[in-house]
Amino acid sequence: MATSKIDRRSFLFLAGAFLAKSSSLILPATAQTVKVNKGEINGISFHRAIIDLTDPKTFITIGLANNASVANSTHRSYGDEDFSKMVARHHAAVVANGTFFAKSAKKAVMGNMVAAGRFLKYSQWENYGTTLGLRAGNKPEMITARVEGKPKWKEHWFSITCGPRLLRKGKIWLKPKLEGFKDPHVLGVATRVAIGYPASGEKLILVNFSDRLTLEQEARAMRAMGCYEAMNLDGGTSRGFAAHGNIIVPAQRPLTNVIVVYDAKHPAPTALRQSWKKFQRGERPVIPKRS
């Protein structure tokens, strides 16, 4: 009997998970909406979080340095903060470094940001990099602005822009200069962090690689793990990864933003859950005049 496309994609995702040779589970091997493990794929070591987007107790947000209400921009800055302090403040299932930020004094973050259905940063001129957004119902989408047009950030519950993009519709897609990337540290060989999801869109896969990689090696690793869409996140000395309150990969410098994941065992704050309900009822983020 011929295998359907859906079955084939599901098979590839499961095969990728098996080939990753996951071991040494950091969280108990019981039913989890956020599973964290370490393993090796294509000879590359990693720590990985697999986040179930179908579970109503899964919530993803962005934490900012010094508990700021808006992200650093060219107009204002709240500085940076030690990763350990950000982990301790959130009490989450997973905390990981997020997107790039400038080396200048204001440490402005890259791209527009939405968290809890509210803009943390917005500029109408943003047109570079790749955006991972979660729409109503935790439905993920990945959009490269200079290829597919600007994301509809107002439709995102969660939104973070970074890059370069690694996978597009299941295929390796590497056009970093088209996206606007010029930094040799991004284009060359580096310790990497990536995020992506399978064709079903039911999971997010967040991976912190231990080895120095090219973008192509990173893309091949994410595809081997079952991703259909994937993009690069900040890496190098920004790499930080914590699970269950335990820091597994300590960031080597203070950060301006982190990705925060809550689940049933690490419940989201009440305000975050209430914002989610409002978003599902149709309330959408208001574009700020300046952020």
Domain count, the chain: 1
Q: Can you give the residue range of the structural domain that contains 268?
A: 32-280
Give the pairing type, strands 229-233 and 59-64: unpaired
- CB contact set of 28 (below 8 Å; sequence gap of 6+): none
Structure tokens, 248:
């597994």
With respect to residue 16, please indicate whether it lies within any of the assigned structural domains.
no
Any domain includes 172? yes
Task: Please tell me the predicted confidence (pLDDT) of residue 221.
Answer: 98
Summarised one tens digit per residue, pLDDT across range 61-75 is 999 999 999 999 988
104: CB partners within 8 A, 6+ apart: none
Residue 103, pLDDT score: 87
* Alpha-carbon gap, residue 133 to 191, rounded angstroms: 24
What does the alpha-carbon distance between residue 200 and residue 14 come to, in Å, rounded to a whole number? 12
Q: Is residue 21 part of a domain?
A: no
For 254-289, write each residue's pLDDT tens digit: 999 999 999 999 999 999 999 999 999 999 999 887
pTM: predicted TM-score of the whole model, two decimal places:
0.89
Q: What is the pLDDT of residue 27?
A: 41
Residue 286 lies in a domain: no
| Position 9 in a domain | no
For residue 163, the one-letter residue type is G
Is residue 291 situated within a structural domain?
no
- List the chain pLDDT tens, one digit each, 291 residues: 444 444 444 444 444 444 455 544 444 444 568 999 999 999 999 999 999 999 999 999 999 999 999 999 988 999 999 999 999 999 999 999 999 999 889 999 999 999 999 999 999 998 999 999 999 999 999 999 999 999 999 999 999 999 999 999 999 999 999 999 998 889 999 999 999 999 999 999 999 999 999 999 999 999 999 999 999 999 999 999 999 999 999 999 999 999 999 999 999 999 999 999 999 999 999 988 766
Residue 226 lies in a domain: yes
Q: φ and ψ at 99, to 5 degrees?
A: -100, 170
| Rounded CA Rg of the chain | 18
Q: How far apart are CA 198 and CA 209, in angstroms?
A: 19
Centre a 10 Å sphere on the Cβ of residue 15 and count the other Cβ atoms it contains: 13
The reported pLDDT for the residue numbered 6 is 43
Q: What is the dihedral of CA 286, 87, 143, 12, to 10 degrees?
A: -140
**How much helix, strand and coil, in percent to the nearest 5, is found in the chain?**
25, 35, 40
Determine, yes or no, domain membership for 3.
no
Asked whether the beta carbons of 234 and 167 are under 8 A apart, the reply is: no
DSSP 8-class letter at 252: S
Compute the distance between CA of residue 176 and CA of residue 165 in angstroms, rounded to an integer.
7
Count CB-CB contacts under 10 A for residue 88.
13
Handedness of CA 89, 239, 250, 245 (dihedral sign): positive
Question: Is residue 254 classed exposed, middle or buried when 0-12, 13-18 and 19+ CB atoms within 10 A define those classes?
Answer: middle
